[in-house]
Amino acid sequence: MSNKNDSCAFKTSIGGQALIEGILMRGPKKQAIVCRTADGLVETTEELRLIKDRYPILGWPLIRGCATFLDSMVKGMKALTYSASLVPLEEQGEPDKLDQWIENHFPEDKAQKLIIGVAVVMGIALSLFLFIFLPAFLVGLIRPLTKSLFVRNISEGLVRVAILLGYMKAVTYVSDVKRLFSYHGAEHKTIFCYEHGKELTVENVRGESRFHPRCGTSFLLVVVVVSILVNSVVRLTGTFARMGAHLLLLPVVVGISYEINRWCGKHDNWLSAALSAPGKWLQRITTNEPDDSMIECAIRALQLVIPEEKGSDAWGS
């Protein structure tokens, strides 16, 4: 599928996320969740309240990257939690002790919000540990690599890349994650079909590529690469001092990475193709070919968020 022409006359701002037996699609005005259950498709939609509408400064270039990332993370976690709640009780695992404690001490609505908040914080904390603290610590243990700040910065960057690739590959051996990645493939294929102006049918979607340049997976890889360049300004030698500096520079890294991803998604030329290529390669790990039932899910989710005004969902508009 990788040799297909991925260029599109129209590029949509509609994006998605794979859920547990379902798909989240997010359009310019609303988002939809469609999940497959034993009783058929279950769907829900809601109007989007964009934070940049309340605080215009959060829509400015470089700043909007962090705001969009955090907003998407929270909404994505809520959607994932909702999709998990649709799984039959006999197939659900026991909630962990922290979730049980929260459910026992707070009203149901507050407990749900608190659990999602804790999950987001823990996810961010794990990411910081894996991609900021751990690389700086490991490289700091190898004396020859710490003598040159240039070599040390490159070494820390390579460790980040290795951790990202290793983590992505490791989770593919989990059966539930394999299905999640298949839904991810269905999301990409459906968006491509829409962008190519084809009728949204299972047959048409099946023939599209599962490697899309405007993917969150690509964004993660861009973040890692940009961090190597941005962190090169750090002239500190102490391991913990470098960790702190990298943490302070993280908003800059995310902001620049978002703008690069946004630019690549808007253009079709040799530079955008070159910048998108590593991320699309990584999608060979994070996307699988979907079955027809997964494609049906993705088609329905996309149909629910396509705006009434044709073209108002154009990328970058």
pLDDT digits (tens, 9 = 90+) for 200-216: 999 999 999 999 888 88
Residue 154 counted as domain residue: yes
Average pLDDT over residues 182-210: 96
* pLDDT interval class at 251 (50, 70, 90): very high
Residue 192 counted as domain residue: yes
* pLDDT interval class at 19 (50, 70, 90): very high
Comparison of pLDDT for 111 and 197, the residue scoring more: 197
Average pLDDT over residues 266-278: 83
Could you give the CA distance from residue 143 to residue 154 in angstroms, rounded to a whole number?
A: 15
Residue 107 counted as domain residue: yes
Length of the chain equals: 317
Q: Which helix (H) or strand (E) holds 54?
A: helix 51-54
Residue 5 counted as domain residue: no
Could you give the CA distance from residue 187 to residue 209 in angstroms, rounded to a whole number?
A: 10
Q: At 108, list the tokens.
A: 């149901």
Give the range of the structural domain holding residue 218, as residue numbers without chain letter: 15-87+96-305
Could you give the CA distance from residue 91 to residue 83 in angstroms, rounded to a whole number?
A: 13
Q: Rounded to two decimals, what is the model's pTM?
A: 0.85
Question: Within 13 Å of residue 90, how many CA atoms lie on the same side as its CB?
Answer: 0
User: Is 316 a residue whose pLDDT tops 60?
Assistant: yes
* pLDDT interval class at 176 (50, 70, 90): confident
User: Are 312 and 247 a contacting pair, CB within 8 Å?
Assistant: no
Residue 310 counted as domain residue: no
Could you give the CA distance from residue 66 to residue 129 in angstroms, rounded to a whole number?
A: 18
Could you give the CA distance from residue 34 to residue 44 in angstroms, rounded to a whole number?
A: 7
Closest Cα to residue 83, out of 9, 16, 171? 16
Q: At residue 24, what are phi and psi to the nearest 5 degrees?
A: -105, 125
Q: At 294, list the tokens.
A: 């997964």
* pLDDT interval class at 2 (50, 70, 90): very low
SS3 32: strand
Q: Residue 75 CB: number of other CB atoms within 10 A?
A: 17
pLDDT at residue number 77: 87
C-alpha 304: how far from chain center: 21
Residue 314 counted as domain residue: no
Alpha helices in 216-238 (DSSP H): 216-230
Q: Look at the chain and report how many structural domains it folds into.
A: 1
In terms of Cβ atoms closer than 10 Å to its own Cβ (0-12, 13-18, 19+), residue 25 is: buried
Residue 237 counted as domain residue: yes
Tell me which DSSP letter residue 314 carries: B
Residue 248 counted as domain residue: yes
